[in-house]
């Protein structure tokens, strides 16, 4: 996506391209650990953070009320999911991890 930023004509396009580039870079930065659950969470966290960043850009630059409402819902929902994934990732990285943790945005418990 970095190549697209040079062609962005509006502030929204430029900021969106920058956000996408950051997200892609952060998703791939950790590399693979050999632990699919850890790798999944390590990549999904920046993916969701990127979605939140993009939704904020719509709130700054967009005008369509339903799209802005969707962006606000994405921010609210994915912020909760980011917190849940960060907590689960921390739990998985602890020696001898076990048990379930709450994923409030999913209305249930996921784990062990």
pTM of the predicted model as reported, rounded to 2 decimal places: 0.77
In tens, the pLDDT along 2-21 reads 455 556 699 999 999 999 99
Angle made by CA atoms 84, 88, 91, in degrees to the nearest 5:
145
Tell me the three state secondary structure of residue 7. coil
In tens, the pLDDT along 47-99 reads 999 999 999 999 999 999 999 999 999 999 999 999 999 999 999 988 876 55
Residue 68, pLDDT score: 98
pLDDT band at 43 (very low <50, low <70, confident <90, very high): very high
Which of 59, 57, 103, 42 has its CA nearest to residue 78? Answer: 103
Cα 101 to Cα 16: distance, rounded to the nearest angstrom? 33
- CA 97, distance to chain mean position in Å, is 24
């Amino acid at each position: 996506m970095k190549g697209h930023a040079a062609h962005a004509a509006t502030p929204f396009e430029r900021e969106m391209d920058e956000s996408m580039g950051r997200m892609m870079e952060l998703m791939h930065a950790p590399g693979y650990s050999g632990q699919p659950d850890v790798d999944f969470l390590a990549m999904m966290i920046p993916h969701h953070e990127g979605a939140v960043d993009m939704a904020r850009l719509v709130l700054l630059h967009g005008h369509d009320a339903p799209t802005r409402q969707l962006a606000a819902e994405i921010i609210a929902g994915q912020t909760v999911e980011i917190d849940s994934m960060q907590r689960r990732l921390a739990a998985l990285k602890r020696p001898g991890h076990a048990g379930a943790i709450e994923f409030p945005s999913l209305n249930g418990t996921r784990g062990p």
